[in-house]
Chains A and B, each alone.
Chain A
Amino acid sequence: MLGIRGLLGAVADTMTCPLRPDDYWAIINPLWSRRELSGRVAKIIPETSDTSTVVVRPGRGWRGGLAGQHVSVGVSIECVWHRRTFSLSSPPGRPDGLIALTVKARPDGLVSRHIVHGLRPGQILRLGHPSGRFVLPDAPPARLLFVTAGSGITPVMSMLRHLAEGGAMPDVFLAHSARNASEVIFGAELRRMAARFPTMSLYEHHTRPTDGRPVARLTMAGLSAICTDLPERLAWVCGPRGMIDDAESYWRESGIGDRLVTERFHPVTFPGGQGGRVRFARSSRETTVSGDTSLLIAGEDAGVIMPSGCRMGVCHSCLAPLVRGQVRNLRTGEEHGIPGDLIPTCVSAPARDVDIDL
């Protein structure tokens, strides 16, 4: 069968050359193209004042993913396409075939603000495939701990919904930090879940409660007093930089660093290179940027079609071969420059003049 399908596909390719059959299908319905995976916005659900869930019908070629993964999303804002990465909040394989992304509008975030405030049902998004290592193991452990803050709940929500699908829940402790009760994304659903499953404990930490004085941030030391069996749980932590740094050092110092999985929204950066001229060889584009500008941003601003994914050096979607020059890895501060090296453009900046094969 595969032989016949393959043959038909090859014939169709010769018929549409130099385009692909999908380029014609996409004219009728963008969701039919496998070449440029798209999705149609089905519904927008406001979650909090600055956060919305976008329910999307993914197009042909959507492969699904694992609970907790993120996906690269392209949106057209005033007819210019922008790509960013967002976590899925839906569990994988929903019976209706829809997926959900939950996005918090950052005050200076062009794309996140557009998604939360500007997107309408029926509009088309471009999608990547889910990726990321912030996932549950094949066989969930007996006891789990989730520590989240703000929109860090999003990938964990996908996991919790996935875990709850069978009608039972393993022993889960969720500690979530938000400004106040109404700012808790998925607050109502989480509280319902905790009430429904006796095996689930929910600890909400409100730093700016509406009826009280500001409270200090949630720390891992503080949490260990609330979740007393913390060291025995396999932990997933997702939140702002300070929280992740705290968690990583707490688990490392407790000698249980291998029991922790973290997801950062921002890479740890070590700027400091002098920057230089970046030449994109195949696109014949050139630009000059500072030593703390990633090659990805430099390329996008110069009008190069840059492959991208998580934009924080995790998913490897943005790798491109170095032609010549010296780059600085913004996550490690390390400089290297061997021609042919695959460079993660999202976390690499030019140390000096650089040529990239893009």
Chain B
Amino acid sequence: MAASTHLSAGDIEELGEELDRLRAEVLASRGEDDARYIRRVIAAQRGLEAGGRLVMLASLLPPAWLAGTAMLTLAKILENMEIGHNVLHGQWDWMRDPQIHSTTWEWDSASPAAQWKYSHNYVHHTYTNVLGRDRDLGYSMLRVTPEQPWHPIYLAQPLYNLALAVVFEWGIALYDVEIEKAWRREKDLGETLNHLGSALMKVFRQGRKDYVVFPLLAGPAFLPVLLGNLTANISRNIWAHTIIFCGHFPGGTRTFTEEEIEGESRAEWYLRQLLGSANINGPAVLHLLSGNLSHQIEHHLFPDLPSNRYAQIAPQVRDLCERFGLPYTTGSLPRQTANVWRRILRLALPGATRPTAGETSSEPVTST
């Protein structure tokens, strides 16, 4: 059964064919330019990281601290967003380069690549915005859609969402272990403990690097370097949290029920991805630093196409939305962020209604 919209079954199939065609076009034209792009981003990221850490060794001088911390923050953001997330999606597997491949990659994030790939690539990207199936819908701790029954705990959600932003990577690592599923006996306890162990090991190794080894190397600058690294990690956490929350939670995005996705066709899956995702518009640097999750709609339609191509196909996806009378939700970063927070605040309280089922909301295609 399809997510209900004004579209007929034939319309949906046609939309699916158009999107398949778009995907095939990109697949057929992948090549030199794309390969050069990802290699350059990786080289820039590693250079920025090495440079940032080097500059920070002199961080007894405040300008060096500031410059080093800024460089390291940028490097860490690139590493997680444009490189790690996208490599782990298999966007670059077509190059068959063991050095840039979803099956061999490990990233500078607390969550081990293998666990993250399962909970993100499989669970979230397959069951996007399906209540009860997509664990990313509120990350098992937030009420982000009125369909989630209210509980007094949600009164505190504005506060703990702020806290989550600060510790985002550790939150995700813990979340990927799926402890609540083990609690409900839906996941084997031994397996859960195994996952917890490898996540803790990863956290330990990442922490040892940023909070022990590099500060020690800095000698007298031990404390400034430690604080610089902490600042870089927290800044990245807040950035990642902001970008990711803008992907599915702003107004205009739809949620779905398990009944709606029963027997869903590929075209219907496309439609759900389209209705459940929101873009962020802005300059090229925003797209780069968001790992092109600013093109969340294109990413959710085609999670394994190289991220540098999303900007290129975005106008075509938008045209399709217009043609089929579907919303193409997008807005500036401040606007979308405000939108998300408004929702977090509103849904902290009981009640609230928002058309999440039934007809497509009549929101027009938001203009850039």
**Interface of A toward B, CB cutoff 8 Å:** 11, 14-19, 23-24, 26-27, 36, 76, 78-82, 282-284, 300, 303-305
Contacts and interface: CB of A to CB of B under 8 A. Distances in A.
A305 B90 contact: no
Nearest to B93: A303
A304 B31 CA distance: 19
Contact of B46 (A24, A78, A79, A303): A24
Contacts of B107: 18
Interface string B99-134: 101011011100000000100000000000000000
Contact of A81 (B31, B90, B97): B97
B35 A282 contact: no
Given A15-B214, A79-B35, A305-B103, 10 more contacts: A11-B213, A18-B107, A18-B108, A18-B206, A19-B106, A27-B47, A79-B31, A79-B32, A80-B96, A82-B96
A15 B209 CA distance: 5
A303 B104 contact: no
B42 A27 contact: yes
B209 A17 contact: yes
**Contact residues of B: prevailing secondary structure:** helix
A286 to B, nearest CB: 13
Interface of B: 30-32, 34-35, 42-43, 46-47, 50, 90, 93-99, 101, 103-104, 106-108, 117, 202, 205-206, 208-209, 213-214, 217
7 contacts: A17-B209, A18-B107, A19-B106, A23-B99, A303-B94, A304-B103, A305-B101
Contacts of B117: 284
Given A24-B50, A27-B46, A79 B209 contact: no
Given A14-B205, A79-B34, A282 B96 contact: no
7 closest A-B pairs by CB: A79-B35, A18-B106, A283-B103, A81-B96, A305-B98, A303-B93, A27-B43
A24 B108 CA distance: 14
Given A78-B32, A303-B90, A15 B213 contact: yes
Contact of B98 (A15, A36, A282): A36
Question: Which of A16, A18, A78 has most chain B Cβ within 10 Å?
Answer: A18
A250 B47 CA distance: 62
B82 to A, nearest CB: 16
A321 to B, nearest CB: 16
Given A18-B107, A27-B47, A81 B205 contact: no
Contacts of B206: 17-18
A24 B75 CA distance: 13
A303 B209 contact: no
A21 to B, nearest CB: 10
A16 B210 CA distance: 10
A23 B206 CA distance: 17
Nearest to A30: B99
Nearest to B43: A27
Contacts of A26: 99
A24 B79 CA distance: 13
B104 A14 contact: no
Nearest to A15: B213
Contacts of A23: 46, 99
Nearest to B106: A18
A82 B206 CA distance: 34
A270 B95 CA distance: 32
Given A24-B46, A27-B43, A18 B96 contact: no
A80 B108 CA distance: 26
A3 B83 CA distance: 35
A287 to B, nearest CB: 14
Nearest to A18: B106
Contacts of B94: 80, 303
Contacts of B208: 14, 17
B232 to A, nearest CB: 15
A18 B46 CA distance: 13
B146 to A, nearest CB: 35
A17 to B, nearest CB: 5
B72 to A, nearest CB: 13
A283 B35 CA distance: 22
Nearest to B208: A14
A27 B32 CA distance: 18
B221 to A, nearest CB: 16
Contacts of B217: 15
Contacts of B209: 14-17
Nearest to A304: B103
A312 B42 CA distance: 35
Nearest to B214: A15
B205 A17 contact: yes
Contacts of A78: 31-32
A14 B99 contact: no
Question: Which of B42, B97, B214, B217 has most chain A Cβ within 10 Å?
Answer: B97
A16 B107 CA distance: 11
B103 A282 contact: yes
Contacts of A303: 90, 93-94, 96
Contacts of A11: 213
A303 B90 CA distance: 9
Contacts of A282: 103
Given A17-B209, A78-B31, A81-B95, A305 B43 contact: no
A358 B206 CA distance: 26
